[in-house]
Amino acid sequence: GKTYKIASIPGDGIGKEVIPVGQRAAEAAAAKHGFSLTWTEFDWSCERYVETGQMMPDDGIAQVKEHDAIYLGAVGWPTVEDHVSLWGLLIPLRRELDLYANVRPVRLLKGVQSPLANRKPEEIDFIVVRENVEGEYSEIGGRLYRGTENEVAVQEAMFTRRGTDRIMDYAFKVAKQRKRKHVTSATKSNGIVHTMPFWDERFAAAGKRHPEIETSQYHIDILTAHFVQHPDWFDVVVGSNLFGDILSDLGPAVAGSIGIAPAANINPEGVFPSMFEPVHGSAPDIAGKGIANPVAAVWTAAIMLEHLGETEAAKTLEAAIEATLQAPETKTADLGGTANTEQSATAIIEAI
């Protein structure tokens, strides 16, 4: 079988507790399905920043480029300002590796409680595809008359045709692999925001390039309402950097799974390795106690294996997760269970 080289960056806090579990689970699935994984571990983290003044070394990006995928835990710790840890690690990875598609599956798993009344698992099953490198997150902006009565702060949102078209195409490509073959666009073109009529035009043009896919679009305000009232309407949802950021937290919340949700930062052309990270953060409040939920890390490993082409192994991991969610002894306290990290991990590995 094949061998895949993975760059593993446990990062901070519970990242260091759950990434090893994800690695064990991925190893077990690899053994079962006849391929192998080799891991290079990087200590890039806030701890490293405090010791060396850098989140990662100068040639960090070059080092991870040598791999087939990047498996990241969580970045951020109270000793280092968010701004520093993000710009020192997460954002350069996303931008310099051109990971322009941020992809988050939203699924109500059996054994997880949705905050919505009367929703069955088959009613919440969609994917948010977020543009991950431009739009509202341009680096352009700043202040005038800082610190005075006349202070003004500005931020430029910038959408390019290339950047918009390629995220649209990626979303349609994802939809093609799914049963319902539907893409919903998140927009806000009814008011003042100049970039959104442009977004709509590019969405319409993409729809013409992919005529076998159905489309719909909603303004972001009412779309968040529909997520809560009609989660069953959605299959693939494509949004700008900011709208996608919002929808990919709201979606997992609706599915009751913000603590177990996985995310992928994809370079669809495969020029650079893609990066896989749980949605949850480093969780300083519970870090070091051995009680963190490893499900997000394992689910993240699953979508990494799927991206590498090992679809069966991914299915094995997802089935193992679902199996352990059925009983309190095999899931952690945040999901109403009684297991600690190691007990949950053991149960997942056994289920594989």
Ligand X SMILES: CC(C)[C@H](C(=O)O)[C@@H](O)C(=O)O
Interface residues with ligand X (CB under 6 A)? 86, 190-191, 221, 245
Site residue total, a copy of itself (CB under 8 A): 58
| Cβ nearer to ligand X, comparing 28 with 75 | 75
Whole-number Å distance between alpha carbons of 216 and 298: 33
Phi, psi of 258 (to 5 degrees): -60, -30
Helix (H) or strand (E) holding 315: helix 311-324
Q: Describe the crossing of helices 195-209 and 161-176 by its angle, rounded to 10 degrees.
A: 40
Query: Is 160 a residue that touches a copy of itself (CB under 8 A)?
Result: yes
Residue list 170-209, contact with a copy of itself (CB under 8 A): 188, 190-195, 198-199
Least distance from a copy of itself to the Cβ atom of residue 75, Å: 11
Residue 177 site contact among ligand X, a copy of itself, none (CB < 5 to 8 Å, cut-off depends on kind): none
DSSP structure string for 14-27: THHHHHHHHHHHHH
Q: Which residues contact 51 (CB under 8 A, 6 or more apart)?
A: none
| Cα separations in angstroms, 206 against 20, 29, 203 | 40, 37, 5
Q: Which residues contact 49 (CB under 8 A, 6 or more apart)?
A: 55, 80, 84, 85, 88
Instruction: Note whether 265 and 71 are within 8 A (CB).
Output: no
Whole-number Å distance between alpha carbons of 88 and 128: 26
Query: Is 271 a residue that touches a copy of itself (CB under 8 A)?
Result: no
Pick from 49, 71, 126, 159 the residue near a copy of itself by CB under 8 A. Answer: 159
| Cβ nearer to a copy of itself, comparing 20 with 105 | 105
Pick the piece of the chain touching a copy of itself (CB under 8 A) from 33-41, 49-57, 102-110, 159-167: 159-167
| Cβ nearer to a copy of itself, comparing 58 with 149 | 149
Query: Is 225 a residue that touches a copy of itself (CB under 8 A)?
Result: yes
Token look-up 């009367």 returns 118
Residue list 285-344, contact with a copy of itself (CB under 8 A): none
Q: Which two tokens stand for residue 165?
A: 């078209």
Least distance from ligand X to the Cβ atom of residue 101, Å: 13
| Cβ nearer to a copy of itself, comparing 261 with 345 | 261
Q: Which residues bind a copy of itself (CB under 8 A)?
A: 82-83, 86, 91, 114-118, 136-139, 141-143, 148-162, 188, 190-195, 198-199, 220-222, 224-226, 228-229, 242, 245-246, 248-250, 252-254, 258
